[in-house]
Chains A and B, each alone.
Chain A
Amino acid sequence: MELAQKVGGSVLKTLAYVGSLTTLGGRAAYYTFIGPFQGKPIRWQRTVAQAMEAGVRALPILSLITFFIGLILALQSAYELKRFGAMNYVASAVAISMTRELGPLITAIVVIGRSGSALAAEIAKLKVTEEIDALETMAINPIHFLVTPKFIAMILMLPCLTIWANTMGIMGGSLFGVWQADFTWAGYVSASLDALFLRDVITGLLKSVMFGMTITAVGCQEGLTTGGGAEEVGHSTTRAVVVSIFMVVLVDLVFTTLFFFLGGK
């Protein structure tokens, strides 16, 4: 009985949390799509600054990581493919797994580490130092002023970063392809492109948009609900990272399942 109560309690809590994320996302969507027509313009300056921080500045580390991931994928698949004498399938194995799954996921995880944590810390700090209260007393909506630019930046940047990550992954794979599997550079790239359907790329990018929304919603929600005191800022940041990774994997699972059943027929 007690166990049922506990399980029920945590299910309710989780649902309430997902509900609050949806509310936050909904309000940001209002200020993105409807607000501008009601005299509440989008803050492009803050959006661009956020996009620079979360997107452009993530490129070096993201390039390096996804290049290595591509190389690792090639090595791992070659390990099995070599036994069947099918080394020429290395290119398609890397291309498909990068674009469908690993590109969006690794990008999301890098962005969580860099920006999800940072935006939770930023908003939590603003909350603790009463800066969010100050915005409200100045009749400036904090969701409009702070959260919406982050949403727009993340939703625009995640797909861009994912395309970049996919490319770098394929580059990583090509290093192995040319070095061990008798591909030429051009041959590897064309083999990769042949293996890909537009659908693979689009589903990957759709997922990355969802990841962007999830990361921002969790980061902002954790920041906005932080308690008083400096140590709470640290806790909120940690929670934002852990919850974001979990939520991104959950969203990934839901969408991959959805795409599987929608595209399976």
Chain B
Amino acid sequence: MLEPVETSRRDAPLDGPMISLRDLRVSYGGREILHGINFDVQRGETMVILGGSGSGKSTLLRTLVGLELPTAGEVWIEGKNFAAISNAARDEIRKKIGMSFQGGALFGSMTVGENVALPLREHTKLEDSTIDIMVRLKLDQVGLSGFEQFFPSQLSGGMKKRAAVARALAMDPEILFFDEPSAGLDPIIAAGIDQLILELKKAFHMTIIVVTHELASAFLIADRMVLINKGDVVALGTVQELQGSTHPKVRQFMDRVPEPAVAQELDYLQMLTESQPKPGQGSQGKSR
């Protein structure tokens, strides 16, 4: 389905990381969400940002694409301090970024084809016929050929995500961001999305950043992973490194161990249920 495309920028010398975070701090309404995040993402690398609910991973992603501004620290993308440059310069970098939102965020008033065509119509002077061909190509890449005339409301959850990926790919981005790509999908469809990410990685050597809490998906697609907990980087490394880590927070996340307070509540519930006769046992005995 995917053909590798060789362009000049793929051959560009690999000078320094694609994305670099330096002591990144982000606050919401006076409360600090991210407390000084530092890590680099290399060119062509797939970095998975792991973290539980409320860990700050979504805020981190929003800051990376410029939807939130850091209160302190720096976000370097392609050698430019993304947070400190003018809006016009930021928009220039954004044209090299593709983002696939959790719910797809496709425009409901436009067809799938129009959605994919939108960035091309906005930022290029291409003829309509050329745009149509590119739209077909992008939809083909994500396995949605022939769905140009459908409205997002007529698509299933998995198809919406694929259409969103097609839109993110429209401008041939250098960096692709995914927010919870498998959230709300059944395991088979979710595996299909993982497969799509792997294919994109293989074919285009894009820098891919995925925010997720799905471990199976993360292990499959990641080159490196970073675990965020309560706004701090807990661990950073390859899949094997994180799997073999003895850090208590990493182990807790990897082994799916609940927080102590929750564990105590579970023990209490278990204690209560064990002290009662098991449901159905008594009545079954009588009926026989």
Q: Is the beta-carbon distance between A140 and B118 smaller than 8 angstroms?
A: yes
Q: Find B65's partner among A125, A129, A131, A137 (CB 8 Å cutoff).
A: A137
Chain B proximity mask over A43-57: 1 for CB below 8 Å, otherwise 0: 000000000000000
Residue-wise interface mask of A (116-137) relative to B, using a CB-CB cutoff of 8 A (1 in contact, 0 not): 0000000001100111011011
- Pairwise interchain contact A137-B67, C-beta atoms closer than 8 A: yes
Q: List 8 A-B contacts (CB under 8 A).
A: A130-B101, A133-B62, A133-B67, A134-B107, A136-B66, A137-B65, A138-B171, A139-B91
Encoded as 1 (CB less than 8 Å from any B CB) or 0, chain A from 65 to 82 comes to 000000000000000000
Contact of A131 with B107 in the complex, beta carbons under 8 Å: yes
* Closest-CB distance, A139 to chain B (whole angstroms): 4
Q: Are B103 and A137 in contact (CB under 8 A)?
A: no
Partner of A133 from B101, B122, B123, B167 at Cβ < 8 Å: B101
How many residues of chain B have a CB within 8 Å of chain A? 25
Expressed in whole angstroms, the minimum distance between the Cβ of B179 and any Cβ of chain A is: 8
Q: Check if B94 sits within 8 Å of A137, measured CB to CB.
A: yes
Instruction: Tell me whether B73 is interfacial, beta carbon within 8 Å.
Output: no
Number of interface residues of A (CB under 8 A): 12
How many angstroms between the C-alpha atoms of A137 and B177 in the bound complex? 10
Which one of A130, A134, A138 lies within 8 Å of B122 (CB-CB)?
A138
A129, A134, A136, A140: residue with the most chain B Cβ atoms closer than 10 Å: A134
Q: Give chain B residues whose Cβ lies under 8 Å from the Cβ of A133.
A: 62, 67, 101, 105
Is B94 touching A134 in the complex (CB atoms < 8 A)?
no
Query: How far does the alpha carbon of A126 sit from the alpha carbon of B101 in the complex, in Å?
Result: 13
**Contact in complex: B102, A139 (CB < 8 Å):** no
Residue of A nearest to B67 (CB): A133
B118 and A130 within 8 A (CB)? no
Given the known inter-chain contacts A129-B105, A134-B105, please indicate yes or no for A140 contacting B122, CB distance below 8 A: yes
- Given the contacts A136-B66, A137-B67, A138-B119, A131 and B94 also touching, CB distance less than 8 Å: no
B107 touches A130 (CB 8 A): no
Contacts of B99 in A (CB 8 A): 134, 137-138
| Pick from A125, A134, A139, A140: contact of B101, CB under 8 Å | A134
A138 contacts B67, CB within 8 Å?
A: no
Residues in A neighbouring B103, C-beta threshold 8 A:
129-130
Known contacts A133-B67, A134-B99: A140-B119 contact under CB 8 Å: yes
Do the beta carbons of A139 and B67 come within 8 Å of each other?
no
Return the CB mask of A12-50 against B: 1 if under 8 Å, else 0: 000000000000000000000000000000000000000
- Given A133-B67, A134-B99, do A139 and B94 touch, yes or no (CB 8 Å)? yes
In the bound complex, CA of A129 to CA of B119 (Å): 18
- Asked whether B221 is an interface residue with its Cβ less than 8 Å from the other chain, the reply is no
Query: What is the CB-to-nearest-CB distance from A120 to chain B, in angstroms, rounded to a whole number?
Result: 16
> In this complex, what residue of A is CB-closest to B107?
A131
Given contacts A138-B119, A139-B123, contact A130 B94 (CB under 8 A): no
The CA-CA distance from A139 to B121 in the complex, in Å, is 12
Cα–Cα, bound, A138→B116 (Å): 11
Residues in A135-165 with C-beta less than 8 Å from chain B:
136-140
B135 within 8 A of A: no
B97 at interface (Cβ–Cβ under 8 A)?
A: yes
Encode B103-124 as 1/0 by CB contact (under 8 A) with A: 1011110000000001100110
A-chain residues with CB within 8 Å of residue B92 when the two chains form the complex? 139
With A129-B108, A139-B94 already in contact, 8 other A-B pairs whose C-beta atoms are closer than 8 Å: A131-B108, A133-B62, A138-B94, A138-B118, A138-B119, A138-B171, A139-B90, A140-B122
Contacts A138-B94, A139-B95 given: A130-B102 contact, CB under 8 Å? yes
Provide the residues of chain B in CB contact with A137, threshold 8 Å. 65-67, 94, 97, 99, 177
Lowest 8 CB-CB distances: which A-B pairs, in order? A139-B91, A139-B94, A134-B105, A130-B105, A137-B99, A130-B101, A138-B119, A137-B65
CA A130 to CA B105, docked complex, whole Å: 5
Binary A-proximity of B165-178 (CB < 8 A = 1, otherwise 0): 00100010000010
Smallest CB gap from A145: residue in B: B122
Q: Which residues of B contact A138 (CB under 8 A)?
A: 94, 99, 118-119, 122, 167, 171
A237 nearest CB across to chain B (Å): 17
Chain A residues with CB below 8 A from B108, complex form:
125, 129, 131
A126 to B106, CA, bound (A): 10
Considering only residues 109-145 of chain B, those with a C-beta below 8 Å from chain A are 118-119, 122-123
Q: Smallest Cβ distance from B89 to chain A, in angstroms?
A: 11
- Which residues of chain A are near B94, meaning CB under 8 Å? 136-139
